[in-house]
Amino acid sequence: MENKVRDALDKIRPALNADGGDVELVEVTADGVVKVKLTGACGGCPMSQMTLKMGIERVIKQQIPEIKEVVTV
C-alpha cells in the first residue's frame, strides 16, 4: 500500500515543486489514513489545506480507493 501511495505522490509532486513546495510521506496507517508533511512553500501556505484535500487527497483516493483520508502532521 505504501508503494502505491508513493507512486500517487510522485504524480502530484511536479505541481507542488512548480510553486516551491513538496510533500513527504510520513505514514500509511492500517486503517487507511495517509499522513504527510507539506514542505517548502507548501508548509506555510494559507492554501495548504485546500491543496491537501482538493489536490493530494483527491488524487490518492482516486488511485487507491481503500484510502480513507489524507492528513498533515
The side-by-side arrangement of strands in the sheet containing 21-28 is 21-28, 33-40, 69-72
64: domain CATH number? 3.30.300.130
Quick one: pLDDT at residue 44?
86
Number of domains in the chain: 1
Dist. CA 3–CA 42, nearest whole Å: 23
Yes or no: say if 11 and 59 are a contact pair by the CB < 8 Å rule: yes
Dist. CA 18–CA 70, nearest whole Å: 21
Quick one: pLDDT at residue 67?
97
Range of the domain at 28: 2-72
**Average pLDDT by stretches of 10, the chain with 73 residues:** 96 94 97 96 90 94 97 94
Is the whole model's pTM more than 0.85, yes or no? yes
